[in-house]
Amino acid sequence: MILVLAGTSDARELAILIQQAGYPLLTTVVTDNAAKSMEEAGVPVQVGRLTAEDIQALIAEKGVQAVVDASHPFAEEASKNAMAGAKAAEVPYIRYERESLSAPGSEKLIMVDDYVQAAELAADKRGVIMLTTGSKTLKTFTDRLLGLPETTLVARMLPRIDNMQKCEELGLEQKNIVAMQGPFSKELNKALYDHYGVTLMITKESGKVGAFDEKVEAALEMGIETIVIGRPQIDYGTKFSDYENVLGQLKLVTGGK
């Protein structure tokens, strides 16, 4: 049995390949929507956030031979829990992470280390700020940006009820919420920037599958300042950015297919 931390489209593809290679597996995801995607692909799935202790217990219960962490590049807590759980259970941990893209060079582009740094920089710049970093860290930005003079915060996120509730709780006006499911083309990004009169866009370096390049290129071509939040710096140990090497490592650590 292989335990796969999933939830993204590329994680789903990897899980399917692992299953096709003959390994019994269980995927774990956080949302019902991600679970539905797995179920439609015929991949076993469990929904819910897992602590390190949960993962250790699941490994023991299912007889897991290896943990493949294919969670989102910014799911830092999930990865740390997976590493700790695998280590405690004494099974191999393999990290799959989509390839990082280099942000195009431009005087309009600023790289930062974390969400707080991005929010504070945005507070200095003000204007019409479009946030494309999701709902999880929304409070970091609303705390620093809402109510500032000459500042409008527009948040783009998945169209989920909990996201809309969070926006309401944090005081984000309905007219400044873009609730849409990606991926977005460069043309659609430009249309949204133009509609809201965006002067500053904030995103995170999530990789090509996360449509990072379309967001950034669209903004820079329109002369819009762009803040890019770099990925968390984590020592994963065994890490790959392609499916073939993950499958090869699984074969090595399980003595299997």
Model confidence, pTM:
0.70
What pLDDT score was predicted for residue 19?
95
Res 85: pLDDT: 97
Does residue 104 lie within any of the structural domains?
Answer: no
Tokens of 238: 């065994």
Say if 33 falls within a structural domain: yes
Question: What does the chain come to in residues?
Answer: 257
223/240 same-domain check: no
DSSP bridge pairs for 68: 4, 94
CATH code for position 245: 3.40.50.720
From first to last of the 257 residues of the chain, give the pLDDT tens digit.
999 999 788 899 999 999 999 999 999 998 888 899 899 999 999 999 999 999 999 999 999 999 999 998 888 899 999 999 999 999 999 999 877 655 555 678 898 989 999 999 999 999 999 999 989 899 999 999 999 999 999 999 999 999 999 999 999 999 999 999 877 899 999 999 999 999 999 998 866 554 567 888 899 999 999 999 988 778 899 999 899 999 999 999 998 65
pLDDT of residue 106: 66
Angle (deg, nearest 10), helices 115-125 and 138-145: 30
Whether residue 48 is found in the same domain as residue 157? no
* Helix 32-40, helix 9-20: angle, nearest 10: 40
* pLDDT number for residue 60: 96
Q: Is 161 helix (H, G, I), strand (E, B) or coil?
A: helix
Predicted local distance difference test score (pLDDT) of residue 102: 54
Q: How many domains does the chain have?
A: 2
In a domain, 41, yes or no: yes
**Shortest CA distance to 219 belongs to which of 240, 202, 231?**
202
Do residues 141 and 84 both lie within one domain? no
Give a yes or no: residue 216 inside a domain. yes
The pLDDT of residue 138: 96
Transcribe 57-92 into DSSP letters.
Answer: HHHHHHT--EEEE---TT-HHHHHHHHHHHHHHT--
Residue 93 and residue 161 in one domain: no
Regarding whether 208 and 191 lie in a shared domain, the answer is: yes
Structural domain that includes position 186? 109-229
> Are 54 and 118 in the same domain?
no
In a domain, 42, yes or no: yes
191 and 238 inside one domain: no
